[in-house]
Amino acid sequence: MNAFENWLSGMASHIKLVDQALTGMEGSYVELLTVLSLGLLAVLPVVIPARHRQLSRWACQVAGILIFVFIVYTCLGVFGMINNFFRGLGEIGHENIIALYFLSVPATILITSMIFGPTFCGWVCPTGAVQEFVGSLAGKWHAARRRAGYPFSWKYLGLSLGIAAVFFAWIGHLSATRIFFVEDATVYWTEILVMILLVLAWGMKPWDARLRRLRVVSFWVITLAAYAGMRVTSPVHFGFSKVYDPASILATAIVVAASLAIPRVWCRYLCPWREAIAWVGKFSTCRLETDPAKCSACGGCDDVCSVEAVSQGVIDTRECHFCLKCVDACPHGAIQIKEKW
């Protein structure tokens, strides 16, 4: 086990492909190449022809993983985005280059979300992409459960209990050398995620909508912590930093495993950055609209939506990730992208 941890530590220290931010501004480390890449990826959903859209989306998701994991320096996961945003705001007027360094990536994502919708979540976000890729392994099972109205499933309960067992066993191993809940606040969010899985085992339909409100709580906890100058480590911090963080590795593993039980489970219930994008997305010029005259309520859009943001053509814009799978899956072309400037 120690040899494995030493290997992970060495891998983390060499995870970035470059020694400093690429294409710095005026000798600084402002990541202009990253900003331009994120801006381009955000525009693609509305310009790519429909016949190539989903293949292009998968390519964008892979590109997002490569950019954030191996190149970007300022992203430290979903919590790091919020922390950096507030740190950058605090530097405006004092150290403007430093402010731009911390604001560049989160501001680019928020601005593009206000123009093109939440394309970051559906096309770029590496955390969401990994969850989607892993969750697709059980895609047919998820679709069947949804069509059946989420009846009680021993298979789901067993999977959830297995994930919980791994979590607590891993915690037990690491607690010999770390002071959990003091050094590693990320464990709180992982524990809540495990509890969510167990709660949903007994009632997905009555609890799903209620538990999605936890994103709001998560957002305000991280926002207030950032405002107070407190740094809370993201559950997927390990994948974006050069620092070996065993607690974050644990959290990342649980988030990925949990996506086998519920597609994009982290995005649905706990991601604070998703909540921020949902808020700015309300002002987006690009929206999905359903033509009632064309919609036959066949449920085809329901089956392809991994976050259950659409039901028989009715789209919940707060939950929509703008992956456009519903647009491409509709046999009657009832769902379309509309621009309203």
Q: Are residues 46 and 151 in the same domain?
A: no
In whole angstroms, give the CA distance from residue 121 to residue 321. 5
Question: Mean pLDDT over all residues of the chain?
Answer: 82
**What is the per-residue pLDDT for 22?**
44
Backbone angles phi, psi at 11, to 5 degrees: -65, -40
Q: Which residues pair with 165 in a beta bridge?
A: none
Helix (H) or strand (E) holding 158: helix 154-174
Q: What one-letter code names the amino acid at 200? A: L
Nearest to 146 by CA among 138, 278, 294: 138
Examine the domain organization and report whether 266 and 304 are in the same domain.
Answer: no
Do residues 77 and 7 both lie within one domain? Answer: yes
Q: Let me know whether 143 and 270 are in one domain.
A: yes
Q: Same domain for 204 and 269?
A: yes
Confidence check: pLDDT of 296 > 60: yes
The pTM assigned to this predicted structure is 0.86
Single residue among 130, 150, 177 that ends a domain in this structure: 130
Query: Per-residue confidence at 107, pLDDT binned at 50, 70, 90?
Result: confident
Q: Find, among 316, 191, 19, 312, the residue nearest to 329 by Cα.
A: 312
Residues 274 and 179 grouped into a single domain: yes
> Is residue 101 domain-shared with residue 67, that is, in the same domain?
yes
The pLDDT of residue 75: 66
- In angstroms, the CA 129 to CA 144 distance is 22
Handedness of CA 34, 40, 44, 48 (dihedral sign): negative
Identify the domain boundary among 279, 296, 328: 279
pLDDT tens column, 191-250: 999 999 999 998 888 899 999 999 999 999 988 888 887 777 777 766 666 666 777 888
- Tell me which residue has tokens 């040899």: 3
- Answer yes or no: do 272 and 321 share one domain: no
pLDDT of residue 44: 80
Three state DSSP letters for 161-181: HHHHHHHHHHHHHHCCCCCEC
Residues 6+ apart with CB under 8 A from 44: 56, 60, 119, 123
Same domain, 73 and 163: no
Q: Are residues 146 and 106 in the same domain?
A: no
Q: What is the pLDDT of residue 219?
A: 92
Q: What is the spatial distance between Cα 73 and Cα 101, in angstroms, rounded to a whole number? A: 10
Phi-psi region of 256 (alpha: psi -120 to 50; beta: other; left: phi over 0): alpha
The tokens of 108 are what? 């680019």
From first CA to last CA, the distance across the chain in angstroms is 56
CA–CA gap between residue 247 and residue 230 (Å, rounded): 18
Number of structural domains the chain divides into:
3
Identify the residue whose tokens are 């067993």: 158
Residue in the block written with tokens 């604070």: 272
Domain boundary among 130, 159, 187: 130
What number is the average pLDDT over the span 88-106?
A: 80
pLDDT digits (tens, 9 = 90+) for 25-44: 455 555 666 777 777 777 88
Query: Residue 133 carries which side chain, given as an amino acid letter?
Result: F
Q: Are 53 and 83 in contact (CB under 8 A)?
A: no
- Hey, what amino acid is at 108? T
Q: Residue 185 sits in which domain range?
A: 132-279
In angstroms, the CA 61 to CA 213 distance is: 26
Same-domain status, 124 and 160: no
What pLDDT is stored for residue 321 in this prediction?
92
Q: Are residues 255 and 290 in the same domain?
A: no
The dihedral of CA 333, 334, 335, 338: what is its sign?
positive
Do 15 and 73 touch, CB atoms closer than 8 A? no
CATH number reported for the structural domain that contains residue 322 in this entry: 3.30.70.20
